[in-house]
Amino acid sequence: MAKKLFIKTYGCQMNAYDSARMAEVLAPLGYARAPGADGADLVIVNTCHIREHAAEKVFSELGRLRRLQQRRASEGGRMLIAVAGCVAQAEGNAIFARAPYVDIVVGPQTYHRLPELVAAAMRARIVDCDFPPEPKFDHLPEPRADGPSAFLSVQEGCDKFCSFCVVPYTRGAEYSRSAASVLDEARALVDGGALEITLLGQNVNAWHGEALAGGTWGLGRLIRELAAIPGLARIRYTTSHPLDMDEELIAAHRDEPKLMPFLHLPVQSGSDRILAAMNRRHRAADYLRIVERLRAARRDLALSSDFIVGFPGENEEDFAATLDLVRQVGFAGAYAFKYSARPGTPAAAKEGQVPMEVKEERLARLQVLLGEQQAAFNRAWVGRSSDVLLERRGRYPGQLAGRSPYMQAVHVRAPATVLNSVQRLRIVSAQPNSLAAEIEEERACA
């Protein structure tokens, strides 16, 4: 009988990707994914360390799981609990001190070893938070496409050391997969039904993998090779750093119609003083120049970004510079966060920590501006046509839902026969976070 595996995923798309791969490495052992933890034989909590109180949230989740674990034991069964991901990496053995009922602690670089870890955990608790010399990607099975939109991890880790960020510590040094392994995985995903592939990496545009015939390639070149795969309709990549937006990558936006005209390019702040304190190694003007070059390469390119308000030392003038940058760029959508100190990062020890009320007030002002820009961007689509990848059923019968090239959620009344295809739709109305459309012309497939 199949053993039940429940994976609770926190955080970003990289973690969702890792969760899917963990399920794949465990499948040969007879584990099949279950929708909940109740009655599971193995529960993996795949954690994220970026957000505030991440570790606290994990420990309260573990407390809830402990009760299910006890119930399972009282019924004569056994539920193994594993903690994976960045909190596992950051806390390591310390997890057992606070949650002694946890069986496995596994870091992001070693989950390909889960089958051995699960077997060993039947006997004793086990930690594996190595950064092994041979990358895990060499040990993972071929992925399966789950729907028409797939993720493909090409790069991990980060060497940038932005002063607020834990990623360089939890995910380790930058590592790029080889072009051959990425292209093989992409072909397997397309053979399995993927029409869209999103390349993932904490610093994805820093990708510099081994080329097909020696030497290294950059992401722009990799995208060109991916675009040649028949049957693949759309390519995206996330998350990028402005410093790594090189000429070749910008040219790919000009030359490759399969590369979607939407880019998530975090800037964090519009103040040069704060950017320097953040160790971003670029100024506001550099960011604006990159945006200009991108838009020159692809006129219909739209941008989203990440912002941090209330970084230590940020004053009203610095914040005004951020609002100014937002007005100059005009974003299709963006995420704004209050700065929160991460232990062990340089910014956590800085003087000039900004009071919570000030952060909240600045966050609210920035969100109003970003919200207006997003609503204006969406409204501008009403009456126009957009190519939508219909990837799931909508909330109402007869409705399908998908994504425009700009990641806008689009709903349409359409027959189920067009599910899993790209359709040209006429946008009829806009909400702040989604669009409604009607079918314009039907295409057999993408």
**Residues at the contact surface with ligand SF4, assessed by CB under 6 A:** 158, 160-162, 165, 167-168, 202-203, 241
Among 308, 370, 390, 435, binds ligand 5AD (CB under 6 A): 308
Task: Provide DSSP, 264-276.
Answer: E---B-S-HHHHH
Q: What gap in Å lies between CA 289 and CA 282, rounded to an integer? A: 11
Q: Which stretch binds ligand 5AD (CB under 6 A): 58-66, 97-105, 150-158, 336-344?
A: 336-344
Residue 342 near ligand 5AD by CB under 6 A: yes
Between 165 and 186, name the residue whose CB sits nearer to ligand 5AD.
Answer: 165
Minimum CB–partner distance for residue 102 and ligand SF4 (Å): 27
Minimum CB–partner distance for residue 56 and ligand 5AD (Å): 15
Q: What gap in Å lies between CA 208 and CA 435, rounded to an integer? A: 37
For residue 119, CA distances in Å to 62, 115, 123 come to 21, 6, 8
Residue 10 near ligand 5AD by CB under 6 A: no
Note whether 432 and 374 are within 8 A (CB).
Answer: yes
Q: What gap in Å lies between CA 439 and CA 424, rounded to an integer? A: 7
Among 148, 209, 242, 266, binds ligand 5AD (CB under 6 A): 266
Between 202 and 304, name the residue whose CB sits nearer to ligand SF4.
Answer: 202
Rounded to 5°, the CA angle 117-119-123 comes to 100
**Residues 6+ away with beta carbon under 8 Å from 230:** 190
Residue 161 touches which member of ligand 5AD, ligand SF4, none, C-beta under 5-8 Å by kind: ligand SF4
Q: From the CB of residue 380, how many other CB atoms can be counted at a distance below 10 Å?
A: 12
Between 50 and 68, name the residue whose CB sits nearer to ligand 5AD.
Answer: 50
Among 164, 262, 331, 381, binds ligand 5AD (CB under 6 A): 164
Residue 324's H or E segment, with its range, is: helix 316-329
Minimum CB–partner distance for residue 121 and ligand SF4 (Å): 31
Between 154 and 165, name the residue whose CB sits nearer to ligand SF4.
Answer: 165
What length does the chain have? Answer: 446
Residues 22-81 close enough to bind ligand 5AD by CB under 6 A: 50
Q: What gap in Å lies between CA 380 and CA 373, rounded to an integer? A: 11
Summarize as ranges the residues that interact with ligand 5AD (CB under 6 A): 50, 164-165, 266, 268, 306, 308, 337, 339-340, 342
